[in-house]
Chain A
Amino acid sequence: MRRFLLRLAILLALVLGANYIVWRWLASVNWDAWWIAVPLVIAETYSFLDTLFFGLTMWRMKQRGEPGPPLDATVDVFVATYNEPIPLVMATATAAREIRHPHRTWVLDDGNRPELREAAEAAGIGYLTRSANWADRPRHAKAGNVNNALFATEGEFLLILDADQVPDPEILTRTLGYFRDDKVALVQTPQYFGNVDAADVLGSQAPLFYGPIQQGKDGWNAAFFCGSNAVLRREALMQLGIAGYVDAVERSVRSTLRTAGTVVAKARRRARNLPERRALAAVAEGVRDAEAALRADAPLADVTWRFQQGVAKASRLLVAADVQEMQAALASLGASGQVVVEDDAPLDDDQLDLLASSDLSPIGAIESVRSLARSLDVIRSEEAEPLSPLATISVTEDMATAMQLHSHGWKSAYHHEILATGLAPEDLGTMIQQRLRWAQGTLQVLLRDNPLTKRGLSAGQRFMYFSTMWSYLSGFVALVYLAAPVIYLCFGVLPVEAWSFEFFVRFLPYFAANQLMFLLASRGIKSWRGQQYALTLFPVWIRACWSAAANVFFGRPLAFVVTPKERTGVARTPWRLVWPQLTAIVVLSVALVVGLARFAFGDADGTGVLVNVVWVAYDLAVLSIVFRAARYRGPEPKEE
């Protein structure tokens, strides 16, 4: 019955929404003020699509009942840490050790701290750091840390915990049952924070996400992996690792071979002497052989091995020839009186300079060929490990990995029971940095591995991933929603034809149906804080968009939040972090006064002012959270 009512509300919201949006586009855009009218109608269309995605998510909401009995399987529990205080890590690790199902507990210390090793070993807990392979190679943050641990452990399943997520002893007994289905690769449980009071000023709890939204995604077999408090099937991750390895090697061998032809051709044109020409001819032949072998579908290990042996031989010949040439060159330079070379004496700097400038220096071209040979290999030499079971294309490795699992046909489950308690950020700066990172990571996945075009996903899964990504584009839309009423109240510019009966008769039912759908879906969960931050953090979402784009397209490092330094124990209120929001509040307040004044002087239309005053008042109520957030210093101490 409940499900029926919810679906009815969803259909109602979508039908009324479509009715409103179509009318907006076709009959109500004030083209005279297109510069605000068009952005507004686009923003409203964005919101309508948001409603559509939300409705789709809720359509198949799946409330799984009691889990089945746990599978009798081996488990590794990973406590991932980088720089968290040792007592905090150890509190989590010792709680992890006490988990009831048989398992081994490991601290994965990316900070490589001897004191932590000591503490872990004293507590009978395994301690892992990166192997030597990772030196001077990309570390891939937490994904790299977990991948490294995967190769050093052997459990059939792994439970991943962030350093602050203290697990319940039943966490495995309550989740391992789902894996009786051989295709289930992931069971995610909620993330819940113990250091947050009822007011939740920073909006840390995500009851809507770890509830209806995850249950809705679960209905489409798209429950997300959220990095912690989740159990994963090792075999599934390893299969991803292997598939990714085969893909990466095929791509790199093919593309390297393509450039190899050009590089060698260029080097040959520039060859200045016979040994060089001979060596490069040999390399060119190697390239041709490799290309032919590739066309004949020869195994890549073979193709690359032969190519490398050939290049190594060619460069050995060349170096030998170079040495001869150098000796000859030195002799001739010496003869002309510029450099005097003693027999067997090492070359001094001046002599080397002369050598380099006299165009007889060892060629650089063969070096570029050698570096081609290094990348024309089957070992992914740029990476520490050839396999990357956890995805490394994004700083939110969890989302990227889940999408990989789903696209390979694995299933996931969301188990709606709090089985770990963590610590949320206790100040605005840390909170903003965390949200920025989530947004950046999500957008990296969108730009690098778009779920709408990714192979292997079902239509439902595509929408579940895309809707989360879509929600992070809301920063631009927020700008429009903030600007439109200000422009009307201050300058009387109407973005719509009129605030008329025609408008209300379409807008109000849509709005009401939307609220009803939300109410039924959220089952009484308090979500006001979440709504506030969805709008209030608009500068963060905008920043995430450009910095993720700059990162993916131009390789720029991701932007981060610079938190104001504390001054001698007394924390300053970090107003600087929220200056765009404060500016918006000032502008909205001024607009409110100007609008009311214009109405009082008979300069503005009553309905228009009313609509926009309500609109501005709503914006202000939402944004007002920044005052409390900026001053927030953690929860009040609990009364005993």
Chain B
Amino acid sequence: MEFDEQDLEGDVLAIAPKGRLNLVAAPALRSLIRDRVAAGRRRIALDLAEVQFLDSSGLGAIIGALKTAREAGGDVRLARAPEPVLLVLRLTKVDRILPVYPDAATAFRGE
């Protein structure tokens, strides 16, 4: 799986996974975010617009990334989730914990 990275205003790093965020991609996402947080990028917006499929392992990786970032004093915010991804978030009740922002640029607005 490919990850597009983009620097946004306010020291926010936008990471956009492309394709299937599933059990194969999960370890890669985890280690990518671990590396970025270790390098001091603590505000990460996950742009999910190009994610075609999300399984529990992918979702697990997102939650793992959230822990990594928050333990370093930062945060992971989700943005632009397409309908199938929103459905997974609803079914797993993860939507009660993680909100989805309309876009990566506004995910950290006002912080």
Contacts and interface: CB of A to CB of B under 8 A. Distances in A.
B56 A301 contact: no
B92 A234 contact: no
Given A154-B23, A154-B26, A246 B99 contact: no
Contact of B67 (A243, A297, A299, A386): A386
A154 B58 CA distance: 11
Interface string B63-79: 11011001100010000
A381 interface: yes
B32 interface: no
Interface residues of B, number: 26
A286 interface: no
Contacts of A300: 96-97
Given A242-B92, A379-B70, A234 B23 contact: yes
A151 B75 contact: no
B23 A239 contact: no
Given A234-B23, A246-B96, A379-B71, A301 B60 contact: no
B67 A379 contact: yes
Contact of A235 (B27, B56, B97, B98): B56
Given A154-B24, A234-B23, A246-B97, A241 B70 contact: no
A299 B64 contact: no
A241 B60 CA distance: 8
A380 interface: yes
A242 B66 contact: no
B93 to A, nearest CB: 5
Contacts of B97: 246, 249-250, 299-301, 378
Contacts of B71: 379, 381
Contact of B98 (A152, A156, A297, A299): A299
Given A234-B57, A386-B67, A243 B99 contact: no
B59 interface: yes
B56 A239 contact: yes
Interface string A151-169: 1111110000000000000
A378 B66 contact: yes
Contacts of B70: 377-379
B41 interface: no
Nearest to A378: B97
A299 B63 contact: no
B11 interface: no
B64 A239 contact: no
B34 to A, nearest CB: 9
A365 interface: no
Interface string B38-62: 0000000000000000011101100
Contacts of B98: 299, 301, 378
A387 interface: yes
Contacts of B20: none
Nearest to A309: B111
Contacts of B30: 151
Contacts of A238: 23, 55-57, 59-60
B2 interface: no
Contact of B95 (A155, A235, A245, A299): A299
Contact of A305 (B24, B27, B56, B75): B75
B94 interface: yes
A510 B30 CA distance: 61
Contacts of A243: 92-93
A151 B64 contact: yes
Q: Which of B67, B75, B93 has the most CB of A within 10 A?
A: B67
A250 B96 contact: yes
A249 B66 CA distance: 13
A235 B94 contact: no
A455 B59 CA distance: 24
A387 B99 contact: no
Given A378-B97, A381-B71, A301 B27 contact: no
B22 to A, nearest CB: 9
Contacts of A218: none
Given A151-B27, A152-B27, A235-B55, A242 B60 contact: yes
Contact of A386 (B26, B56, B64): B64
A385 B64 contact: yes
A1 B64 CA distance: 55
B50 to A, nearest CB: 20
Nearest to B26: A154
Contacts of B59: 238, 242
Interface string A236-268: 001101110110011000000000000000000
Contacts of B24: 154
Contacts of B57: 154, 234-235, 238
A156 B63 CA distance: 20
A454 B27 CA distance: 33
A300 B95 CA distance: 9
B61 to A, nearest CB: 8
Contacts of A234: 23, 57
A380 B75 CA distance: 14
A302 interface: yes
Contact of A242 (B56, B67, B99): B56
Contacts of A387: 60, 63-64
A379 B92 contact: no
Interface of A: 151-156, 234-235, 238-239, 241-243, 245-246, 249-250, 297-302, 305, 309, 377-381, 385-387
21 contacts: A151-B60, A154-B24, A154-B57, A155-B23, A156-B23, A234-B57, A235-B57, A238-B56, A246-B93, A299-B95, A299-B99, A300-B96, A300-B97, A301-B75, A377-B70, A378-B97, A379-B71, A380-B67, A386-B63, A386-B67, A387-B64
Going nearest first, the 3 A-B pairs with the smallest beta carbon separation are A238-B56, A299-B99, A379-B67
Given A154-B57, A246-B93, A380-B67, 7 more contacts: A151-B27, A151-B30, A242-B92, A246-B96, A297-B96, A299-B95, A301-B66
